[in-house]
Structure 1
């Protein structure tokens, strides 16, 4: 489809990048290849886009992602002149339909690799609180039956149980269970007749479960899929006026972004979470400030990193006794943030000390976190040249590893193999390597 007018919006963004037309096409091809659909656009194609020729859907998506990465901010298709997107989000009925489609694909083993292939995007449009709050229109379509608070309690209890399984064993097996529960139980609840108070409570419970399911997708390395679950969590949190889950989800999206190395995007999300929660209690404030500190450190903002870290420490001192709800922020979490800030700012030894303190404070149920962070400690010990100390720490991580089904845990073991191989002449390193081979899945063992 050809427009009579040049795409001035796209041309403005293109000029902002400083690219040549050839570079523009090459960057779009790179994104397309990452997504499993290689393209061979060249300079004439880029010239046509700017001249008003409307690219295909997949090309438009790749174009805005390429621009977003280069410019360091989310670029929407509307901003790139491709569509007149309606502002805000759909009513809750659209949210439920989207959730069913997402969960159905995720719970289908034959589709899971396809869904998991979706990639993290900094071009994602994240709805503001005012765009989602109170949107409850259409929720009663298809009134299957009337639900009550006992059904809400069922969803809450199931979410807590899945969270416990995730903490102990990783998300690889728990996430399909959560997806099936979302599709087969929660979605019908969301469509059912209910009083306003029950309906809000059910949407809030569903939002918590979507957030947890997205978190488990992050654990598996399915970052695009995780973002989709997080967006559903935001929509449901707004529909139920659940400020806590809305802010928690934004903060979770920031964690995902900073772990992927997208510091500026992580900073924006962390700031958005803090801005959306002006009346936060001390534990929530610590929860949010800790993430702001980590994101600030990653972008090299030392002053704000230390300021936010101090704010988190003060807020934690004021916090009440630890909540049992999943996702709660505790002294172990705070010390993890201290470690990450120190590491980003170049203090490797200090980061190790903080991670060791975090490890000593962590509840025993958090097996996956214990394994991952001990492996991280070992990597940093080796970086300082403490080989034998690192081998001892890695061995403690291997104690938990066989019990965990987690993509992030697998990544830490793969990294261990990579960095320990130059040291195999050392007896402790050789013993560690051979022990790891006995507990590592065959497809992860280097040959």
Structure 2
């Protein structure tokens, strides 16, 4: 009979983390919930892992991600004393095949529910611009199909329509359509023949569509899947020589990390996006600096956060017009960024003031989904500072428009209302708002 050997590698990571066994188990459970597969590990399970019992194969990536988030660096199977994961076949799919595989899984909404949402990784390897630029040869030519400027225009126009649907109705509504268009129409174009300029333009158009589809996945809470789309978007942007879209995607990845509470990775991605930006117009600087400010604040870097916020303010002031600003960054967006910075730095009251500024400055054409998300944040923070009835009125406006929205993020916000209001149910307005939210949760 052999004696099981303790996992000395995992023990080193555990000591480095400074966790208790209970905290380690809770971290793994949180990531399981985030992925859509809730776990109930407790202290004895961690003790078993440290003693040499091998966790389930499906759980090992969650453990690695938990330590990566805690230690702010990638953690491999080998470093944790786990066997290397099995190889996925002997062949490597082409760039187009990988995109088809990714999109096909999202085309059928009923099938997506059993696929899981994937695992968000703070240690994701993000390719640099020099790693992806000009790799158009990765997309082989099919001489039987030829594209021109009309096909490029069609893809860009369809992407705009899909973006409008996403804004008006949410990612759960629009993502199957975006994935179907990506797989059935756009991927054949990527392998089509055409002039060098046309093929580059098509790669650029596909990159932004891929980014948009990832953005929709974020809205559904499918964060691991979103990262896969973002990486494909970076690859496509590089192949098409589209530096602006490459930086736009990096910033979007920073927004995703920030919204999940990962300040340090968010700041790293925002900084890479800003440093890689090929132009330094006021609009671009505001777009980048506003996100840097939020990420820095979440990371606890107050001086950098305030410096970036001032840079964003100067850039917005310098822009000759707020119409058509890069990435939609405007005075209203700046007010929202200010609200997020103030809240992350502990100023809930100031955050409420800035959110009021945001709604005062919003344009009637601004996104419906962001309006509901930001209004939900406002209500939560109004409640936090003791403005209970004001919070109910704000939530009431959200609930008025909620039934037409198919957004995982807004679903989560509405589901929280009842528990947040539970200490104040003797107030008739509070009770009414709470009951209404519960009734609408099953829409």
Distance change >3 Å, CA 59–CA 284, structure 1 → 2: same
Distance change >3 Å, CA 30–CA 390, structure 1 → 2: closer
Q: Hey, what does 1:241 align to over in structure 2?
A: 241
Report the Cα offset of residue 258 of structure 1.
0.9
Aligned pairs for 1:86-105 within 5 A: 94-105=94-105
Cα RMSD, aligned residues only: 3.2
Distance change >3 Å, CA 432–CA 18, structure 1 → 2: closer
Aligned pairs for 1:181-330 within 5 A: 181-277=181-277, 279-322=279-322, 324=324, 327-330=327-330
Q: Hey, what does 1:146 align to over in structure 2?
A: 146
Q: Do the aligned residues in 1 keep the contact of 2:283 with 2:325 (CA within 8 Å)?
A: no
Q: State the distance in 1 between where 2:74 and 2:419 align.
A: 34
* SS of equivalent residue, structure 2 residue 300: coil
Report the Cα offset of residue 278 of structure 1.
5.4
Q: State the distance in 2 between where 1:192 and 1:215 align.
A: 27
* SS of equivalent residue, structure 2 residue 146: coil
* SS of equivalent residue, structure 1 residue 145: strand
Q: Hey, what does 2:355 align to over in structure 1?
A: 355
Distance change >3 Å, CA 237–CA 76, structure 1 → 2: farther
Q: Do the aligned residues in 1 keep the contact of 2:263 with 2:295 (CA within 8 Å)?
A: yes
* SS of equivalent residue, structure 1 residue 280: coil
Q: Hey, what does 2:170 align to over in structure 1?
A: 170
Report the Cα offset of residue 66 of structure 1.
3.1
Q: Do the aligned residues in 2 keep the contact of 1:166 with 1:174 (CA within 8 Å)?
A: yes
Q: Do the aligned residues in 2 keep the contact of 1:258 with 1:295 (CA within 8 Å)?
A: yes
Structure 1: unaligned runs, 5 residues or longer: 1-6, 85-89
Q: State the distance in 1 between where 2:263 and 2:257 align.
A: 7
Report the Cα offset of residue 177 of structure 1.
0.5
Distance change >3 Å, CA 41–CA 396, structure 1 → 2: closer
Q: Hey, what does 1:399 align to over in structure 2?
A: 400
Q: Hey, what does 1:415 align to over in structure 2?
A: 416
Distance change >3 Å, CA 47–CA 133, structure 1 → 2: farther
Normalised by the length of structure 1, the TM-score is 0.85
Q: State the distance in 2 between where 1:31 and 1:368 align.
A: 26
Distance change >3 Å, CA 324–CA 80, structure 1 → 2: farther
The answer to which of 357-366 and 243-252 deviates more is 357-366
Note the alpha carbon deviations across 1:202-233, whole angstroms, 9 max, x for none: 11101111111111111111111111111111
Q: Hey, what does 1:137 align to over in structure 2?
A: 137
Aligned pairs for 1:25-36 within 5 A: 30=29, 33-34=32-33, 36=37
Q: Do the aligned residues in 1 keep the contact of 2:118 with 2:225 (CA within 8 Å)?
A: yes
Q: Do the aligned residues in 2 keep the contact of 1:28 with 1:59 (CA within 8 Å)?
A: no
Report the Cα offset of residue 374 of structure 1.
1.4
Q: State the distance in 2 between where 1:294 and 1:265 align.
A: 12
Normalised by the length of structure 2, the TM-score is 0.86
* SS of equivalent residue, structure 1 residue 125: coil
Q: Do the aligned residues in 1 keep the contact of 2:72 with 2:123 (CA within 8 Å)?
A: no
* SS of equivalent residue, structure 2 residue 118: coil
Distance change >3 Å, CA 323–CA 142, structure 1 → 2: farther
Q: Do the aligned residues in 1 keep the contact of 2:411 with 2:441 (CA within 8 Å)?
A: no
Q: Do the aligned residues in 1 keep the contact of 2:31 with 2:62 (CA within 8 Å)?
A: yes
Distance change >3 Å, CA 377–CA 132, structure 1 → 2: same
**Number of aligned residues:** 426
Report the Cα offset of residue 151 of structure 1.
0.5
Q: State the distance in 2 between where 1:412 and 1:44 align.
A: 37
Q: Hey, what does 1:68 align to over in structure 2?
A: 68
